[in-house]
Each structure stands twice: as C-alpha cells, then as structure tokens.
Chain A
Amino acid sequence: MSILQMEQVSYQYAGSKKKVLKKINMAFEPGKLYVVVGRSGAGKSTLLALLSGLDLCTEGSMYYEGQDMKVLDRDAYRAKGIGVIFQGYNLLTNATALENIVLSMNISGSREKDKREYALKLLEKVGIDRDTAVRKVLKLSGGEQQRVGIARAIAHEPAIIIADEPTGNLDGDTEKNIMEILRSLAHDQGKCVIVVTHSKAVSKYADELWGLNAGNLVFLK
C-alpha cells in the first residue's frame, strides 16, 4: 500500500501558461528507495516542493496515508511525516549543528528523552564529530552542512525521507556512506526514501528509477 500518492498531478506557476509538471501519476511505498533523475528545468524542484508539502499542485490530487494534501495539516506533515534534505541545506546558520537537530526534534514533538545525546549520535553516524557538532553551521564546510541536513531530516524518524541532491557536496566515500544510510532507512526501517538527483552514481541504489523530462515522470527501471 502506498504512503504517498500522486493522481493526475499538474503544476503551473501563477502568470505562466506552461505546465511545469504534467498529469503525473505515482505511488510511493514504504520500504523502497526511489530515485528521480532529471536535467535542470525538468521540474525536479517543483516536484520536491509538492512532495515535501511546501506547495500544492494546481491540478490533480496528492494523498498522504490516504488523506488529501489539500485538507491535510501540511505543517504537521512537514514536522512529523517527512524529512527533507535540501540541496541548499536550509539550516539555521547562527545555530550550531546540534541545535539544528534538537530544534527539528522539538518541532516534530519527538519523545526522545535525551535529545541532545540522540542528536550527537546521529551526527556521528553521518560523519560529524562532537566538536564539529557544537560549532555554528555558518562555520562548517558545504559537505559538513549537507551531513547536518541529512541528520536533521532523519532525526524525528519520519515515514518519508525526501532528498534533493543529497550527495552533491560530498566525496565518493561519504556519498557511498550516505546512500547506504538512506538505503538502510528504506530497507531496514521501512521508510519511503525519495531521492531527486542528476547523479548517475546515485541511480544504482534505486529500487525504482524514474526520469523527469519536461514535466513528465517516466518509469526507467
């Protein structure tokens, strides 16, 4: 059974005649790692915005656990239902890496007793040691910020993890490590992981590979 479903979903920016996404039908299931590949301007960012509940489709419907996204509390969906790894990180730059994770857990209403310790362990898991964890995000490298973003996305244990170029700023070894983590989240913890990327290397981790081209979503593998 799908956890996230798109039915005839189209998207058109206000004032534009062109549809960025065209009648997409797609069902995302738990326990699978989906990879969506596409070139610049293919509609990847728009698809991500819809999947992560940051925007609503202009035509068609999207359902999360059977509930129409249009009537769903999208704040709660973003806080608890999904975890998003942004390409631009979107971290609170004046806060430390640790504070970013703990705040995300607080917003989601995480019941973890020792949030600080839990967050530190999570950061270690993605390659951020304890010294780096207490530094301000602004002072971290792009790669380090990417890892903090990943840790934040999974800290509250969401059912769906959406990643926009999650390995874009990482070296080969770390990329492999991160993708293994994402695959493990899907296969071992039953999460639905959706990765949007243009990296061919990432494609090999996909359970299902989809291509986005001029607003059309096509099954590739």
Chain B
Amino acid sequence: MYLFENAIRNIFRNKGRNIILALVTFLIIFAAAVSFFISGATASMIRNTRTQFGNQATIELKDETASTGGLEVAAYLKYGASDLLCKTEYSMTAYGRLDSLRALDEEAPDGQANTILAATSRTDLGDDFRKGLRSITRGKAPEKKGECLISEEFAALNSLSIGSQIKLLPADTGRTGTAEFTVSGIYSDNSVNGTGGQPGMPLYNRNNEIITTIETAAAIDFMVDSIGRQFNAVYFLKSSDQLDAFQNELLEKGLPAAYTVSANKEEYRQVVAPIEKLSKISNIFLLVVLLLGTFVLVLISVMSMRERKYEVGVLRAMGMKKPKVLLGMLTETLAVTAVCLLFGLLAGAVAAQPVANTLIQQAAQVNIHMTAPIIGQISMVALLLAGLSSTAGILYITRFEPNKILSERN
C-alpha cells in the first residue's frame, strides 16, 4: 500500500518532470484517440456498406463491347428463383403505342411509339417515388395483374380516372397484339424534367409513362422482346460470400458464358472509397503518432534517468527490492497516464468529428461514436506505451547496484 501512496506523492514531488510527461502523454493520447475514433467509425461504415452492397448481384456482360442479343426477361426471372437469394428486384421499360388515346406533347398520331411502359417489382415503386420525385395523388399502386398508374396530366388529357381502361399496342412495326390496363391510381410527377414541353417528342415527357407491375409487363409478349426494351435485375444474396455459388447455379441454369455475375461494386466503391481514404490517413497518422510518441516518451525517460537513478540508488540502499522499485515507478507513470487518458479521450472525442469532416471533405458522412471497444483500445495503447517507455528506463537503472549509483553520485 505504501508503494502506491509513495508513487502518488512522488508525482507531486517531481512536478516539473511530471508536467512535461503529462503534456506529452496527453498529446499522444489525444492524437491517438482522434485516429482511433475515426478508424473505428470508418471501419464500421465500411462493414455496413459491404453488408448493404456486397450482397447485391447483377448479371453483366464480361466484355461490354461484345454484341449479344441480350437476355430474355424469362431468363432473368428464372435466375431469380434461387435458394441463395433473399430478395430480387426487377425493373423494365419498353416502348408502346396508345390505342385511341393521346400522349402529351404528341402533335398527331403517327404510328410511332408515344408512351413508355415502366414496370417494377419494388413495392415502393422505385427511386422516383421513394425520393419524392413522384407521388400517388389518387387511387393506389398497381397490385393485381393489368393494373397501372398514370400521370395527372395524361389522365386530364384523355379524361381518364380510376378504373378507366387503357389499351397499348406494339411500337415495333409488324408486331400485333394488344395489352389492356386498368387505372388503379394517378401520380403526380414533381421532377423538373417531368413536365416535358417539347412538341413532337412524347417519349421525352415523363408524364406519358404508364407504370405497372413486373408481372404484368413480363406477361406482354410484344413488350418483353420489343426493340429498346430495358430490363434490370438485382439479386440479393443471403450472404455476400455466396456470389460464386450463385454464378455457378446460373451457369447451370443456362446463363451464356459471355455473362458474369458480379457484386454491386460500383456503388460500393462510390460510398466506400472516400471512407477508405480517410481510414488510411487516420491509420498512417496513428502510426506516426505512436512512433513519435514512443520516441519522445523514451527520450523523456532517458532524460530523467539521472535523477531517477539516484532515487533508485537510495531506495535500493534502504533495502527496497527491485520489483518494488519498478512497481512504484511504474505506478507513478501509469497514474499520470490515467489522468491524461481521461482528458485525452474527452478531447479526442470532441475533436474527432470536425477532423473527420475536414479530411473527408463532405464526400461522405462519418459519424464518430465513443464506443467501449475503442475506448478500451486507446486505453490499452496508452498504458502499454507509457508502461513500456518507462519500464525500459527503470529496468536499465535497476541493473546497477545501489553502491555503484550512490558512489557515482557522491
């Protein structure tokens, strides 16, 4: 007990030395805390993003310049029936021709495509609706087969309302067939480009779009294999490490060799790249701080060695055993470190967010949180650093016999 009491008293007895030690230790802990908090936050963000995007798979051409006829809609849907998936998202657009109805910005019916059939499997009807660029003002989203949404402008132009019937004809010349729809709801397009306004260009007016379910669109033969049809399939794997297994399954199901299944890397890269850059900077900074810090602490330890050496000599001459001398001096250093740790952590936590914001330059939002594992890591590093740097010095001094130390002094 007296060892610890004496160690604490010693801190105040040697104010000058301990103030310098405390200042340096505080700066190291502060800098390390900032780095640790940023590293922790970025690691967590990278992990979350990987979970979010890493399990999304799409079918892509191995060679984007290769000319292929593209995959059939039925194939995309067949591939989606897999036990490796937890969810699928399909979207499709195809050109069509309105039967007996007028399209916005259409000067006169000329037998050309004048509307776009947009289909999605998403219950939120896709990003436009999710982001508020479009919203349902009347009725409801299409659910049953043959139901659709039309815009307010289109409805007004053709005096359509909920329950009205719409017929769509093939846009491709030489194709026959009719697709019938029932209006289940009416949407308003709030985007800047939604209003169109270019006479003779009805396809440029988003309000001409007829929105339906993927099941409805996929059942219209003249649409699914029409020219200009776009189909996007996003497959959500139950686990991101099952990408290869899913690809093998698709190859067995008949996926042509020209195609490959890849994770949604682009979005992942866009989100993660700036965070990874920040993480890298903070890790390098941490390394520099720790190396410099260790160097400075060892330097202080060596500088105070002469003074400490005499102290060790006296204590040893009084019969104090080496381990006790070591323990007392270590306690002294660790007590100073503990106080610095408290203030360094608090200051680091306050400074980490603005530092992260400055470094990342608004490319992404990093939210710094003070978590127990990070506090534990910082504490371990600080105590280890202080312990090692002071132990090295003390061990060096305690190698000498007290007689040698005291005779040198006297």
Contact = CB atoms under 8 A, between A and B. Distances in A.
Contact of B319 (A79, A92, A95, A136): A79
Interface residues of A, number: 28
Contacts of B315: 92, 107
B62 interface: no
A12 interface: no
B369 interface: no
A75 interface: yes
B159 interface: no
Contacts of A41: none
A54 interface: yes
Nearest to A80: B319
B314 A88 contact: no
B22 to A, nearest CB: 17
A58 interface: no
A150 to B, nearest CB: 14
Interface string A99-140: 100011011100000000000000000000000000010000
Nearest to A115: B2
A95 B407 contact: no
B313 A103 contact: no
B78 to A, nearest CB: 84
A78 interface: yes
Contact of B410 (A52, A87, A103): A87
B6 interface: yes
A90 B403 contact: no
B406 A103 contact: no
Given A80-B319, A88-B409, A107-B319, A55 B9 contact: no
B225 interface: no
Interface string B126-153: 0000000000000000000000000000
A67 interface: no
Interface string A66-106: 00000000011111100010111011101100010001101
A161 B259 CA distance: 95
Given A54-B403, A55-B401, A78-B317, 10 more contacts: A75-B321, A78-B319, A84-B317, A90-B317, A90-B410, A91-B314, A92-B311, A92-B314, A94-B13, A94-B14
25 contacts: A54-B317, A54-B402, A54-B406, A75-B316, A75-B321, A77-B319, A78-B317, A78-B318, A79-B318, A79-B320, A84-B317, A88-B406, A90-B406, A90-B410, A91-B314, A92-B311, A92-B314, A94-B10, A94-B13, A94-B14, A99-B9, A103-B318, A106-B6, A107-B319, A152-B318
